[in-house]
Chain A
């Protein structure tokens, strides 16, 4: 199978890429290609021009600058999964990365592509919501920063406007810790459900709570009510169970091949409890 014909363009800088996109409304960015190439091959979509951002130097850098983790949009999922400082300080991000697709896809696929694709079953968006990440975005005429919670709008719809490129992801290290729980049918598959939970604890008290949901609605969802409920409270079985019930308020499930609404509700609550209890510092 082949994609339909397209022109290929491989800029060497963000500026060059942005300039090209500005004059070519229908051009599409190619990062790792692990979502886009299958779509092109199956002819679900075809594009007149491809802008390969894989040759822009430095766009794949992962850096810890003071208390800020900076991840370039072209950083490969496999690099994120294996990165030692990410594993130490942002375990929820490492864990999710290691659950994405399979090692071969992770060697090509990028965090930027995973976030910009807008598939509700992609795993990184929920992690970004749990970690309150910020996204740096560039286009020919401006640069802006968008919060993760304002980025994911709907299925295959993000806050990116035509001509915009996601360049960098920024996450603050607050001393928190977290887990990502994913339920899938078989090795290498997408999530039936996934949940990212990140907690900043002071003894038994939750100082800050971040919760993101994968494949629980049209796009990745931030479980704000459950987050608010847990903040300032003690970690106890009772409070965990109450927060789990609140998750169901944001989740928007449908009966489908992956299971019934009832099954998914039970599964989500189960994965949440497992995530919370698996976080270092939380006593079982």
Chain B
């Protein structure tokens, strides 16, 4: 079946089997391997991407469901806020092995777009679908807070 999916601003027209998952479409068909597959059972959130701006688990979305929709992945070079979140994770050691990180960062971007001044509780409840086996989450929360400060700072400078 032909699908037309916009990924990181670029349209991709591909012929896929209906059973193809969005995660495998991104990784195998588009060769963008930044999106990770961890549990493959809808639990860990390593596969998180944004679809029409909303964070979803791409291992549990069919590529055909995304037909005609817009997807953002960790590779989205053109998004300034995403770059800020990435940098903040590096600066605050928001990762150890890094396997969960693409998903963590996409969920962080999603929550920061909704709320520029997130409280600890807001961050924690929004991370409920993303598991990290390494960091213990404290450094992840710090990374998100740092990103929010920077994003708010940028806005002030931009004015």
Q: Please list the residues of chain A having a beta carbon within 8 angstroms of any beta carbon in chain B.
A: 1-8, 10, 30, 33-34, 37-38, 40-42, 50, 52, 54, 78, 101-105, 107-108, 187-188
Please determine whether B125 and A108 come into contact, CB atoms closer than 8 angstroms. Answer: no
> A42 is contacted by which of B41, B43, B56, B111 (Cβ under 8 Å)?
B41
> A33 is contacted by which of B54, B60, B126 (Cβ under 8 Å)?
B60
With A103-B55, A188-B128 known as contacts, the answer to whether A34 contacts B40 (CB < 8 A) is no
Q: In the complex, A38 Cα to B57 Cα: how many Å? A: 11
B45 at the interface (CB under 8 A from A): yes
The secondary-structure label for the interface of chain B is mixed
Please determine whether B128 and A187 come into contact, CB atoms closer than 8 angstroms. Answer: yes
> A54 is contacted by which of B42, B60, B65, B129 (Cβ under 8 Å)?
B65
Please give the number of chain B residues whose Cβ is less than 8 angstroms from any Cβ of chain A in the complex. Answer: 34
Please determine whether A8 and B60 come into contact, CB atoms closer than 8 angstroms. Answer: no
Q: How far is the CB of A46 from chain B (nearest CB, A)?
A: 10
Q: How far is the CB of B28 from chain A (nearest CB, A)?
A: 11
Q: Which of B60, B107, B111 has the most CB of A within 10 A?
A: B60
With A3-B19, A6-B18, A34-B42 known as contacts, the answer to whether A104 contacts B62 (CB < 8 A) is no
Q: How far is the CB of B51 from chain A (nearest CB, A)?
A: 8
B48 at the interface (CB under 8 A from A): yes
B contact residues around A6 at 8 Å (CB): 18-19
A contact residues around B1 at 8 Å (CB): 8
Q: Which of A102, A104, A107 has the most CB of B within 10 A?
A: A104
Q: How far is the CB of B44 from chain A (nearest CB, A)?
A: 10
Please determine whether B41 and A38 come into contact, CB atoms closer than 8 angstroms. Answer: yes
Q: How far is the CB of B120 from chain A (nearest CB, A)?
A: 14
Q: Give the top 7 A-B pairs by smallest Cβ distance, nearest first.
A: A102-B129, A8-B18, A102-B128, A104-B129, A187-B128, A188-B128, A107-B54
B61 at the interface (CB under 8 A from A): yes
